Amino acid sequence: MFDAWLTPAQASRFLFRTRTGNVMQCEINPEVGGGFTVTDRRPAADGDESVFDVVHMGKYVEILRPKKLVFDFSVLTYGSEDQTRVTVEIVPLGPLASELTVTHNLGSSNQARMMEEPSRKGWDAMLANLERELFPRRVGVQL
């Protein structure tokens, strides 16, 4: 599960991927001080043929294999280069089970409060995609 976050071929199938988008770029330098860029090409609106690219960037602050990944995160497409902090923690529960917790510190600004629910929905969708990537025959995800 940990390596899926740091392996471009797997990460491109769940990380920042949307139902209607296509990941056009997934570059990862998996070391502290390194980072990632994931570009998801999305339709501008339902039924519209025009598209736009959403560029997600991160810089790794902490990598403690196989339990913890911390990165500073920004989404350039929406006009903000403000970084937020994301922590991914993995606790093994058995040979084929783990508990994964994602904590995204958005800050305390009005904009951060407005982004809380959309961010939660985005992470929920990504974690469902991660489960499908890692366990394609399992049904259901507890979020």
Q: Which of 116, 97, 90, 83 is nearest to 6 (CA)?
A: 90
Name the CATH code of domain 3-134 (choices 3.40.50.1950, 3.60.15.10, 3.40.190.10, 3.30.530.20).
3.30.530.20
Q: What is the largest CA-CA distance in the chain?
A: 46
pLDDT tens digits, 91-139: 988 877 889 999 999 988 888 888 899 999 999 999 999 988 887 765 5
What average pLDDT does this structure show over 11-32? 92
Is the alpha carbon torsion for 99, 56, 53, 109 positive or negative?
A: positive
Return the amino acid letter for 59. Answer: K
Question: What is the rounded distance in angstroms from the CA atom of residue 17 to the CA atom of residue 21?
Answer: 6
Name the residue with higher pLDDT: 94 or 48. Answer: 94
pLDDT grade, residue 31 (50/70/90)? very high
pTM of the predicted model, to two decimals?
0.86
pLDDT grade, residue 78 (50/70/90)? low
